[in-house]
């Protein structure tokens, strides 16, 4: 049996106000992620020596690279949402422009999917980073206990 993938067409029924609220929510979440990226940079700077000493530095370096890529993608998405928000007037200008309105709603739908995918990948990245930091903290604690006992 073959399955076909369907796409959601709920965007057709969203009002301009709903689209505006969704865009503001995206911006809020993406700006929060931007702040978290700064926190991650500080965290990595704090544990640089431990990261270098850690067993598998290559995977840690990949993690740092992934954070940098995530930060760049986040900035691109913020710019896209801001540009998208500025074009909202197409829906509220009381001029009947069915093609432009349809295109705007399609862009909104694509942005919704892209942001959802980004946030899902970001959550996985964050989990991996915290796992590495947790392992480093355990190692530091273990070494401290060993030093005390000697």
Residue 99: the pLDDT is 85
Residue 6: the pLDDT is 47
Residue 47: the pLDDT is 79
Distances (CA, A) of 129 to 80, 98, 115, 138: 27, 46, 21, 14
Q: Where are the domains of the chain?
A: 15-149
| CA dist., res. 5 & res. 127, Å (int) | 30
The owner of tokens 């530095």 is: 57
Which pair of tokens denotes residue 33?
A: 């992620």
- Cβ atoms of 147 and 81 closer than 8 Å: no
- Cβ atoms of 43 and 144 closer than 8 Å: no
One digit per residue, the tens of pLDDT, for the chain of length 150 reads 454 544 455 445 678 888 889 999 999 999 999 999 999 988 888 877 777 776 666 666 787 889 999 999 999 999 999 999 988 877 777 677 778 888 888 999 999 999 999 999 999 999 988 888 888 888 888 888 877 776
| CA dist., res. 111 & res. 132, Å (int) | 31
């Amino acid at each position: 049996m073959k399955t076909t993938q369907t796409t959601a067409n709920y965007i057709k029924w969203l009002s301009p106000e709903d689209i505006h609220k969704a865009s503001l929510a995206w911006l809020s979440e993406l700006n929060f992620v931007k702040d978290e990226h700064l926190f991650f940079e500080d965290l990595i700077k704090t544990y640089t020596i431990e990261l270098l000493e850690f067993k598998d530095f290559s995977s840690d370096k990949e993690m740092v690279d992934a954070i940098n890529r995530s930060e760049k993608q986040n900035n691109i998405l913020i710019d896209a949402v801001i540009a998208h928000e500025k074009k909202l007037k197409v829906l509220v200008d009381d001029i009947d422009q069915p093609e432009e309105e349809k295109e705007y709603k399609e862009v909104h739908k694509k942005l919704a999917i892209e942001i959802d995918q980004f946030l899902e990948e970001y959550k996985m990245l964050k989990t991996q980073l915290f796992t590495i930091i947790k392992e480093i903290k355990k190692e530091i604690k273990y070494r401290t206990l060993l030093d005390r006992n000697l």
